[in-house]
Structure 1
Amino acid sequence: MSPIREGARQVMAWLHGWTGLLLGHVLFLMCFAGTLSVFKPEIGRWMRPEAVATAAPVDAIAAATDWLSKNTVDSTGWYLTAPDGRMNTVEAGYDSGGVYLYRALDPVSGAPVARETMGGEFFYRLHFELQLPYPWGRLLASLAALMMLVALITGIIAHRRIFRDFFTFRPAKGQRSWLDGHNALGVMSLPFHLMITFTGLVTLASLNMPWPITANYGEDLAAMYQAFTPGAVNRPLAEKKAPLAPIAPMLREAGRRFGGTAIGRVYVVNPGDTAAVVTVFRSDAGQIAYTPGEISFDGATGRVLSDWTETRPALKTYNTVYGLHMARFAPGLLRWLYFLGGAMLTLTIATGLVLWVVKRRERAPLSIGNRLLERLNAGAIAGALLGSVAYLWANRLLPLDLPARADAEVSIALWSAGIAVLAGLALRPTIAWPTLLGLVALGCAGAALLGLGISGFAQWAMDLVLLAAAAALMLIVIRQVRALRAPVAPRRARTRATA
């Protein structure tokens, strides 16, 4: 191989390592939460075991709007997602008395379900907002995704035996084992990794590259949104009270105009005013492209104001890219493949972070920075898992009538993850890893048993996944404990390992 090519590979390997390291723990959290978000409706359903009623989408939305019209004060808008085969409640975002709320509404009564929780929405928001205020969380997630894309591309260039290493794994070989695992996880679903990273960047394009919007529209964001969705109807508040017209006929008319396709989301802007607008969106489950069309109605009279379907090639391309990332179109098997690909990307990041430390330990004693990173790896990686398990436990154990119950669940998740990070920093890694992963394994098993105790076998699929995760983690813990008790072998001379 020519010196120039070998030198280029070394530069790419250096860039691959550093781009993966700098925001590696943020990337791990993003990918872990995004992987769980593939089953956001199913997680939400598990976390609301009392909500067992079902209703047709039209009837459920009608019940929800009826309840909202009677129980909200000075609301500016209701943003509803209709139930489907995966979710039986109506997801509702609305404001009342100046406070914005997110609730799951019963599809029959329209009232909030007994167990207030964000459900799977927590993982979905954590994936791209990182529980930080707008826009800082999204900006950090966008920067991390950009680094992830650079790491993937440089990893491909630096990898000399990308197809051979697909089939190579040598256990109990120290650095070589970690490198084999990292390579195999990265290569086996490389097309998915590239797709999900690139499409994730595109979804945040307005934050990544705001200059075209500024150049064309300046500070007039309303004009920009109108250009992107010319079928949207925006009317100022008339400040004249008027009841909302029966919404069921509007929804049926929208379904007819959609060609029989199920309705997805329903927005009611200025409810209770003569300028109210009801906008109905086609369900995203029937096509890859996200929100291909919408129909708007006069909220006070029920007449059609706008019937619009996106046909512009650039916007259809964007909608398709966005839909590929969200995967709402994916049927059962493809959804599990998305989950598997996300899990492999998450493990690729985790093994890369561990490999950084293992590689340097075999060369020489670790520096202070790398010793800190070694401990941070244990705390951050296990902490994300432990926080998620604590979130499920909080959902089952907190009193149903606790004020701000959903916020309390999230707080418990974040505090548990933070305590795990501190424990990882305080304990030796050989102690921290089995201790924290053992707690996660016990937590998964306990959450599954709590789930079975409350809802029986109604949500058995998630309980089974939790039990499988507990078993897999416990096997890892047992192996770590055995390695800790084994006599230390004399250090062998280091053999060079190449990526």
Structure 2
Amino acid sequence: MCFMVCNETRWEPSMSNIQPGFRQSNAWLHTWSGIMVGWLLYLIFLLGALSFFRTEINTWAQPELAQIETQTSSQAWQSAWAFLQQKAPNSPEWNIELPNERNPAVNVRWFDEGERPSRRGGHRAILDPATGEQLHPRETRLGDFLYRMHFELYGVPRHAARWFIGIATMAMFIGLITGIIIHKKIFKDFFTFRQNKGQRSWLDMHNVSSVLALPFHLMITFSGLLLLIFTLMPWGLQTAFNGDVGEYFEAMGGRGGKTISETLTLPTTIMDASSRIEQIDVLMGIAETKWPRGVDSLQINNSRRAMQISLRQQGANSLLNRARGETLLFDINKSELSLINSDPEIGFWRAFYNSFTALHLLHYADALSRWLFFLGGLLGTMMIGTGLLLWVEKRRQKAEKTGEWKRMFRLVQILNVGTIAGLPLAITFAFWANRLLPVELAQRELWEIRIFFITWFASLVYSFIRSNRQAWVEQLALLSGLLLLLPVFNLITLPRYSVLSMSFDAVLIVMGLLAASGCKSLVKHGKSSILPVSRKNSLMRSMS
């Protein structure tokens, strides 16, 4: 697949009887559907790849949590219970998120007396699972910011941002389909990579990154469109539910579909329990026996009208219900114990939507699945980046000799440097800001985001005032240095170097070496273009 690279054919129907062929028409569509939104797609794929480790980035960004020792679920929830009993004994609802392999801390939430529990309301705290002591790690939103940025942008009205992302995603899907159509040797190119062949090597890299992860690219793009379907195609909702997505999902029984409740035999140990904490202890034992992956969270409703204890399963059993786990519910007033699960009788289209969107979100996945999706996202980022570079290279000689495309050519050069090198540079500066900003700084989490955008803007301005080659070399050199120095800084300054820190820093080192390799290649060849030219096999001759 040759994203944004293949020759486009220009024609004037009124001046010529020669009509372009099917593949030529698709080549033109492939090129221009890519170049118009290529930089936004690069952002979507790069930040989307990082979002598969959203929780890990948040944990890495709070190194104070590395001091926490691993505890059993029983110890963790009992510590949280003791904290909430002291902090908010009259709260109508408590929520306890237990530690897991991705987050070592206990996260609790409670509401003020008389406050109506809601999704975004209440008070939150992070606890040590061993002691129940409230922790105060540095304020940060790095992982959440990168996650939301990849599908809602930042500082843009939510509805408008989703339209921008939706249009870019549709262009990506068109690029993938047309790329398959125009690619004559798709299976051969799966195994083809010619080293030291100048531009031909870059084209091969573009093809390999496209074909190697083609199923992933198709799945992640199509599922992204499904997630935005109520924005891009709202007419059904507007007609049936007055545009209220929440009302639609409520009518459907939730985002995962309708649920069914199975009444279980109530153990006598629960009835004999003398306190609420003993009842929860019995329920935890039942849940851990039923769910091998354990309990994800607890919700304790203290309302007199509906005194309930619910335990939620960690992980999921099926994609058909959008990877929604089971819930064990104990109704204290009615003395009833029930298991809530998704209705197995689900329609085809609902199952289709649930499965694809669950694959895109990947909330249920283990570490191996997240790593595979992360690599797929990086291959997609590489595919888009090399496509943008090759678009410039294909037109470089014509722009230099005839002046045709000159202004657009220069604009694309600036945007390429400012996005392909500038966006990773902005992310790296945000990582450094997380480590260097004072912990007590007011609005600290916002300053991390501000530094991200300041760096990105500076990269674009720098690309404008410097020559193309200078901008590439200097920004890649800076990126490489910052990426390689950050693990050293972590090793020296962190009080405890956790497994998460080692894994994170290993990725930084690999990315730093790749940036250094690109910088070295540019210095060695010394051309004005970003791509080294091979005398024996130039891209122009190979595509002529």
TM-score (norm 2): 0.77
Root-mean-square deviation (CA, aligned residues, Å) is 3.9
Give the drift of 1:6: 7.0
Post-superposition offset of 1:405: 2.0
Higher alpha-carbon deviation: 381-390 or 289-298:
289-298
Aligned-partner SS, 2:101: coil
Instruction: Tell me, in whole angstroms, the C-alpha distance in 1 between the residues paired with 2:47 and 2:62.
Output: 19
Q: 1:283 aligns with which of 289, 305, 314?
A: 314
Q: State how 1:5-404 maps to structure 2 within 5 Å.
A: 7-51=21-65, 52-53=67-68, 54-57=70-73, 59-61=75-77, 63-64=79-80, 67=83, 81-90=97-106, 105-108=127-130, 109=132, 111-131=134-154, 132-171=156-195, 173-219=197-243, 221-226=245-250, 227-229=252-254, 230-231=258-259, 248-249=280-281, 252=284, 255=287, 259-266=291-298, 280-284=311-315, 287-288=318-319, 289-295=322-328, 307-314=340-347, 315-365=350-400, 366-404=405-443
Letter of the 1:164 counterpart: K
Structure 1 residues 150 and 400 mapped into 2: Cα distance closer, same or farther (>3 Å)? same
Query: How many pairs were matched up?
Result: 486
User: In the alignment, which residue of structure 2 is the partner of 1:448?
Assistant: 487
Structure 1 residues 6, 462: closer, same or farther in 2, change over 3 A? Answer: same
Q: Work out the CA distance in 1 between the residues paired with 2:298 and 2:62.
A: 22
Q: How does 1:479-490 map to 2 (within 5 A)?
A: 479-484=521-526
Q: Is the 8 A contact 1:254 1:280 kept in 2?
A: no
The 3 A distance-change label for structure 1 pair 497 and 221 is: same
Q: Give unpaired runs (5+ residues) of structure 2.
A: 1-16, 262-274
**Partner secondary structure for residue 134 of structure 2:** coil
Shift of 1:121: 2.5
Asked if the contact 1:59–1:248 (Cα under 8 Å) also holds between the matched residues in 2, the reply is no
Structure 1 residues 379 and 306: CA distance shift in structure 2, 3 A: same
Three-state SS of the structure 1 residue aligned to 2:312 is strand
> Is the CA contact (8 Å cut-off) linking 1:444 and 1:466 kept in structure 2?
yes
User: RCO higher in 1 or 2 (8 Å CA, sep ≥ 6)?
Assistant: 2
Shift in CA distance, 217/483, structure 1 to aligned 2, threshold 3 Å: same
After superposition, the Cα gap between the structure-2 partners of 1:245 and 1:143, relative to the gap in structure 1 and judged at 3 Å, is farther
Correspondent of 2:497 among 457, 460, 463: 457
- Tell me the amino acid that sits aligned with residue 282 of structure 1: Q
SS at structure 2 position matched to 1:313: coil
Distance, in Å, in 2 between the alignment partners of 1:300 and 1:402 is 47
CA distance in 2 between counterparts of 1:5 and 1:56 reads 70
> In structure 2, do the counterparts of structure 1 residues 63 and 124 end up closer, same or farther at CA, with 3 Å as the change threshold?
farther
Between the aligned partners of 1:268 and 1:139, the Cα distance in structure 2 is 39
Higher mean alpha-carbon deviation, 485-494 vs 135-144, is at: 485-494
Match of 2:266 in 1: none
Contact 2:429 2:455 in 1 (8 A): yes
CA–CA separation in structure 1 for the residues paired with 2:205 and 2:434: 35
Task: Mark the CA change 1:68 to 1:25 in structure 2 (over 3 Å): closer, same or farther.
Answer: farther
**Alignment CA distance shift 1:209-1:43 (3 Å):** same
Letter in 2 for 1:179: L
Partner secondary structure for residue 135 of structure 1 = helix
Q: What are structure 1's unaligned runs of at least 5 residues? A: 234-243
Aligned letter for 1:252? M
Structure 1 residues 455 and 416: CA distance shift in structure 2, 3 A = farther
What amino acid sits opposite 2:48 in the alignment? G
Q: CA 1:148/1:420 → structure 2, altered by over 3 Å: closer, same or farther? A: same
Structure 2 contact 476–519 (Cα < 8 Å) conserved? yes
Distance 2:153 2:434 in 1: 20
Contact 1:379 1:420 in 2 (8 A): yes
Q: Which amino acid aligns with 1:83?
A: P
- Output one character per residue of 1:131-184: Cα deviation in whole Å (capped at 9) or x when no partner: 244233333222222211111011100111212222333455554333222112
1:460 CA displacement: 1.4
CA offset at residue 87 of structure 1?
2.0
* Structure-1 residue corresponding to 2:478: 439
Q: 1:384 to 1:77 in 2, by over 3 A?
A: farther
Give the counterpart of 2:459 among 417, 420, 431: 420
Pairing partner for 1:470 from 504, 507, 512: 512
Distance 1:253 1:264 in 2: 14
State the Cα deviation string for residues 49-96 of structure 1 (Å, max 9, x = none): 221323334554564576567668999987764321222124568888
Contact 1:292 1:316 (8 Å CA) reproduced: no
Q: Which moved more, 1:195-204 or 1:434-443?
A: 195-204
SS at match of 1:412: helix
| Greater Rg over alpha carbons, structure | 2
| 8 A contact 1:254–1:295 mirrored in 2 | no
Superposition deviation, residue 37 in structure 1: 1.9
Letter in 1 for 2:344: T
Counterpart residue number, 2:7: none
Letter in 2 for 1:348: M
Q: Letter of the aligned partner of 2:24 in structure 1?
A: Q
* 2: CA distance, partners of 1:127 / 1:94: 30
What CA deviation, in whole Å up to 9, does each residue of 1:203-239 have, x standing for no partner?
A: 2332232223333322555542322325599xxxxxx
Q: Which moved more, 1:393-402 or 1:136-145?
A: 136-145
